[in-house]
Structure formats: structure tokens, C-alpha cells
Amino acid sequence: MIITNYIIQMKNSIFITSVCLLFCLTFQPLSAQKNPKNVIFLIGDGMGIAQVYAGMVANGNHLELERCTYSGFSKTYSSNKFTTDSGAGGTALACGVKTKNGMIGMNPDSVAVQSILELASKNNLSTGIVVACAVTHATPASYIAHQINRDMYEEIATDYLKTNIDVFIGGGRKYFEDRTDNRNLTNELKAKNYQIAYTLKDVKAVKIGKLAGLLYDDQNPGIPERGTMLPDATEASINILSNNKKGFFLMVEGSQIDWAAHDNNTQQIIKEMLDFDQTIGKALDFAKKDGNTLVIITADHETGGMTILDGKFGSDMLKAAFTTKSHSGVPVPVFAYGPGAENFSGFMENISFKGKIEKLLKLKK
Ligand code: MG
Ligand code: ZN
């Protein structure tokens, strides 16, 4: 009898525990709806699903970005073309407006539109840009500059001086120092308390404060010549920006997946994709440890109209086919991890990222 009672009590307590557990699990989404403090936004230029999978197959059926818990698709058309360029594509992601191909940080009427980076900076968050190309190239320019044409590299470089960006690292030194107007923007950056780095070693030595990393005279070289520039500079930037307890916004670009895809060069696409994935790994490592960081990964457009016909896991033996030497109009993948990641699933417009990030970071206009 005593034993029977004891068993009944046990059963009751198990039942109550189970109910509590079920209740907690059911209502967990409410408590999980916390806002991120930091956002790391990674753009694989030209990175469609075939480029992602090419990297995954070559890497033995695994990529760092598989750690993301939500995924979706972004529609990439611009205001005047079905198939976007990186100017309009970057502007859509950065500023939340569809614009004409070739334009940077402006709406189709040539009116400047504030980017998410500029808004974050205005709200006293730290901000950064790390890219595998010149910092004046279309994608990074979309976050910092407002120009009618993406080829206006010297004007775009000048726009860096008009902002309060904390860290920017990439190539394009000559657009700051060897200019037709004879201005030396590096000296002007120094006067604004920027530390200047010309090498990756110099970048790694900086732990706090403002940093302008101009690592190459013009465009960065591709992989393998570029080495671990992108993952290392990303890690260094996260270390610097995370000093700000209010939070940070960092944009990172795997710039040359696009260039390899323009060349329809499968082996180079794999190399650039895996370099970008290593960089994604750095962002996800920080986000996991930090717990307050949202990581979003997407592309501005697909390049090459690439598909994969055959492959072998763990080998770069990949049979790919391309339908163009230019960009294609297909939607691109989106991956997200961290608080707020659930907002980046399903089909979305490329202009929806800015508003969502703005809301999640509780930025005031
Ligand atoms: Mg780009
Ligand atoms: Zn391109």
C-alpha cells in the first residue's frame, strides 16, 4: 500500500514535471523573442545556391553556414532591370530602396537614402565594413556613399570622410592617396583619429578605436594570393567593434565569388566560396559565444546562371554549367543565426533587410 502510494506520488510528480516542461517549451518562443545588440551582415557577391553547394561539395558536404537556423530567399530585381547589378543590389540591402542599376545609396530620383550602417552609427552603435575588394567598390560603397554612378571611386572614397564609421578594411588605397584632386584622404583620416593599416599584421595590432585598413593599392587579389585576409580582418573588426557596449553593425563581403562566376571559373568559385565560408564561421563563433548577435548571410544577386551536373563530395571534381558570363535574375539564398533570425525565412524582397534590422536593433531615425 505504502509502495503503491509512493508510485502514485511519483507518477503525479512526473506528470506535473512533464506539464511544466511542456508549458515552458510551448511558451519558449515568447522568452526567445529577444532583440540582438549586434548585427553582422555578410554578403556573398554573386552567391547563388549553386555557388554555395559547389563550396559544400568540395568541402566534404559541409559548410560553416549550415550552423544557421533559419533560411529563405531574397528577390533581387532592381527598379529598372529584372537583373540587378551590385550597385542597385547593394543599395537595396543597405538602404532599403530599389534603385537603378549602377547607382549607389540613392533612390531612382538620385536622392540620397540613409543606409542601415549610417543609421546604426547615428544611434551610437559602432560600425564597420570588411571586404575582399576595394572599399570603394559597389557593395561596400552602398553602405557608406551616395553617388549617381558606382564607377566614381574617388568620390566614393571622399564619402568615407563624411561618416563616422569606426572600422573599414579592404583594398583601394590609391583612391584615398593618389587622387586627381591631390587631396590625401589618409592624412584627413588621421586627423579624424583613424589608425591607418597597410598590412594585415597592422590590422591585427589594433585593438580599440578607429581603423582604416587599406591593404591593397586597387582591388584585392583573389584566393590563394589573398590568404586569410577576409576571415582575419573580420575577426579583428569584431574584436574592435565589440568594445562598444551599445552594440555594433558590421557588413562583410565575400566580393570575388562574383568575379570568379563572371569568368565561369568553377575552381575559383569554390576557392572564393570557401574563403567566404571561413569568414562566416568567424561571425558565427562570435555570435554563439556572445548570445546577443544576429548573423545574416545573403547575396546581392546570382552570377553566371550556374548549375551543378555532377560532383564528388570532398573533391573539387565538380561538373558545373553556366548560362551567362553576367548576372542572372534568380532569387538568392538567405541564412540567419541568433536573436531575431526567425525574421529571415521564406521569400523576402532585398529591400526588406534594412527595416527588419532597424526594428530589431531598435534604431531611432
Ligand atoms: Mg560586390
Ligand atoms: Zn558581377
* DSSP per position, 328-354: E-S-EEEEEESTTGGGS-EEEETTHHH
Is 86 annotated in the active site? yes
CA 327 to ligand 1 centroid distance, Å: 12
Q: For residue 31, what pLDDT is reported?
A: 46
Q: Please determine, for residue 91, whether its predicted confidence score (pLDDT) is greater than 80.
A: yes
* Residues linked to residue 46 through DSSP beta bridges, in sequence order: 302
Ligand nearest to the CA of 45: 1
Are the C-beta atoms of 163 and 144 separated by less than 8 Å? yes
Ligand nearest to the CA of 251: 1
CA 218 to ligand 2 centroid distance, Å: 17
Q: Give the list of residues 6+ apart from residue 274 with CB closer than 8 angstroms, or none.
A: 55, 58, 59, 223
Catalytic residue among 78, 79, 86, 237: 86
Q: For residue 13, what pLDDT is reported?
A: 56
Are the C-beta atoms of 298 and 84 separated by less than 8 Å? no
Three-class DSSP category at 121: helix
- Distance from C-alpha of 247 to C-alpha of 210, rounded to nearest angstrom: 15
Query: pLDDT digit string (tens) for 252-266?
Result: 999 999 999 999 999
Q: Please determine, for residue 140, whether its predicted confidence score (pLDDT) is greater than 90.
A: yes
pLDDT classification of 227: cutoffs 50, 70, 90: very high
CA 26 to ligand 1 centroid distance, Å: 42
- Distance from C-alpha of 224 to C-alpha of 87, rounded to nearest angstrom: 27
Q: Where are the beta strands (DSSP E) in the chain?
A: 38-44, 70-75, 126-134, 167-171, 194-197, 210-216, 248-254, 293-298, 302-303, 307-311, 318-321, 327-328, 332-337, 346-349
Query: pLDDT digit string (tens) for 56-81?
Result: 999 999 999 999 999 999 999 999 99
Q: For residue 18, what pLDDT is reported?
A: 53
Return the amino acid letter for 183.
Answer: R
Ligand nearest to the CA of 91: 1
Are the C-beta atoms of 217 and 174 separated by less than 8 Å? yes
pTM (whole model) above 0.85: yes
Averaged over 241-250, what is the pLDDT? Answer: 98
- Distance from C-alpha of 156 to C-alpha of 149, rounded to nearest angstrom: 9
